[in-house]
Structure 1
Amino acid sequence: MTLPVSPADVAAARKVLDGAVLRTPTLPAPRLSAITGAHVFVKYENLQVTASFKERGALVKLSSLTPEERAAGVVAMSAGNHAQAVAYHAARLGIRATIVMPKHTPIVKVAATEAHGARVVLHGESVGDASEEADRIAREENLVWVHPYDDAHVIAGQGSIAAEMLEDAPDLDALLVPVGGGGLISGMAVAARHLRPDIEIVGVETRLYPSMWNALHQQGLPCEGATLAEGIAVKQAGTLTREIVSALVSDVVLVSEPTIERAVNLFLTQQKTLAEGAGAAGLAALLAEPDRYRGRKVGLVVSGGNIDPRIVASIMMRELEREERIVSFRFSMLDRPGELGIIASLLGSLGANILEVEHKRHFLDVHAKGARLDVTVETRDRTHADAVYRALIENGMDVERIDWRSGN
């Protein structure tokens, strides 16, 4: 079978990339290994200048242009990492770049793209709208399209990641790879199958955007919703990438949003590295099916680290709640001097650190001479949280746990 991209194409791409992009490390992750039961190795593509693997494919594509095409300029459509990658390397090569982004793209991403010298055009409500505008601009201004994934040069560039991983960790049993349009996993599959025909290659999509899964299974699951993994929130898989994935990829799995959140948190707290939602998808798949990979050597790609700091803060707090290291109690008490002090002193003696207090009086379900007190505290772990709750009851407190899982 002749595929759109060959191992020779990946080898040629590596020569273009040599010295122009960072050869990111592939390192063992003992803490993640202890948590998952697999022997985990991580490829840190979030260390690239624009914090994403997208630089590889973008540079290979740009380097393939003829002198006439370079003089004319390029156009790309992206709401994030591809935009910055094209803008950055186009500036390095002296190529005029136009990037079309949806109107509601976060300002920080627009500013980052403009900072690399690109002309940014904001158009439409969706990536689809932006793509149509980019196509119009390409025709009217005779610009070269730099597609984010469905391009042979782009795919070959992304394949360099697997080649590097298998040089650094040649005995990997499996690769877990984020999938959006499929450019990353297609290139990696071409390179990995050439070097290790027996290796298992698993693509990972968020359940909200199962575009490649749909294509492989001839299904029509909806692709919609707000996802933490916006980098792989693609409604339509590529034509070239579908062909390669169908031929070379072992499986494509779907992961939930809470599992992606947990993976982002683990990369930050255990590996001390920042992974965006899409970049943590591989670890999410490992967390979702630990028995499938137990005892095996598994390679993960942190494909990008461009994530809003506010989202990171929210994820960390939500994970602390899931682990019951942050818990909330609701007290029903008499509205008289000293009651709040008694509760605060008792919590302190139990080793619970008070984070937030909300005092409520003017509710009809509260006694006219009473008050309701919601207190959020920090505990050591779930066992400690349970011990604090029992001690409060044993000390005569009228108290209940507020369970974040039920919304009560």
Structure 2
Amino acid sequence: MNLWLSEIAKAINGELRNFSSDVLVKNFSINSKNIGKDTLFIPLKGSRFDGHDFVKEALQNGAISFISQKDFEDIKVPYIKVQDSLLALQSLACYARRKLNDLKVVGVTGSVGKTSTKEYIFNVLSRKYKAFKNQGNFNNHIGLPISILNMPDDTQVAVFEMGMSNFGEISKLSQIAKPDIGIITNIGVAHIENLKSRYNIFLAKSEIQDGMPESGILIINSDNDILNLHKKELKRKVVTIGIENESNFRAQNVQRHQNGFSFEVGGYTYFIESFNFHDIYNSLFAIAVGTILEVDRQLVKEAIRQKERLKRRFEVIKKGSITVVDDTYNASTHSMLSAIDSICEFEGKKILVLGDMLELGEFSEEEHRKVGRYILQKPIDVVICTGKDAIYIFDEAKKKEGSRAYFVSKDECLDVLKREVTSNSTILFKASRGVKLDEVVDEFLKER
């Protein structure tokens, strides 16, 4: 977005220093090394680093100005003095959003599936509109505002993923982005350590309504027990998607094919190139958004067929006759069970390499045991558990007759895999990101 420096100062109630003539800012960055043409550097003070220590580096790399909560008497370029640079960033993003009166915004939150849902929606909307999405992990109180500021001026529709770990965080993001359409993918147990119950997680995710207009539309997954039970508490018009329960956009006649799933919605057939059953739900959100924003049905069908391949999110990698499924980006109980379901559809020997699910607090043992008990019902041949609380998965899974269960260190996982992997094996790797199970995946692939 293009903004004049004087305009920025007024929007954030800042004081212009060393100002003689106005400059047009076209880009915004919080990283002193990532400075493009006509960039305003916004240094943030964190627990480990202070961005103000890198102001001179940002200027050397081409920044034309900066915002600062510190005085810089030895710097002669114009800059804006503020009380708090983080609040200034968020205030500026609010101002930029208000300027874009015709912009339609879709906000996506939920316990799992946010990124995949965002990608499907972006694919659909890009077929008709000049669309924008926040990248990677830019889904928090810092990433979302900087994404809005770097959005092209001609953007017609934006899709923003919104993450949280506690009350008030989604509300802040919603009031900045002001979504016209809000999406809650599901309510699981991610962040239950902080929020103590799934109902509280529902309340925290429901804060997405706080920045929505009264005419806004909220799309929810009616197959999710908590959302279905409490949907009458929501304050905006509710549209539902689902497979099992009656929904406005319901997938029926679901068929698994060699390279994905086909299903019918409202009498029309759709196909997604994905091995992950949960992507049906993610694509249903995109079908619903496309319908609401009047994207031609044929364009929607083409757009959801294949989303961008997301690294370490149920990423299927073929190595000769062996299939590796790298789902190590993150894990919760819901996503664990969903991934196990999907693996059961693969042919041949099925091996699970599972690590801890983090941030479960006092609920951790029971949630890990729940995964182990679930495995007992499934045609899984080998379970390899690693970590601290993954021992509870092992403790349940070892009860399964005819299968083998191991509890080993992360370093020992490869030794067990060498013994257990045979031709036509499928191996699922899944754990929370902090476990760093991706390192085992990389080592395993390196040796194949």
TM-score with structure 2 length normalisation? 0.24
Q: For the pair shown, which has the larger CA radius of gyration, 1 or 2?
A: 1
More contact order relative to length (CA 8 Å, sep ≥ 6)? 1
Greater helix proportion: 1
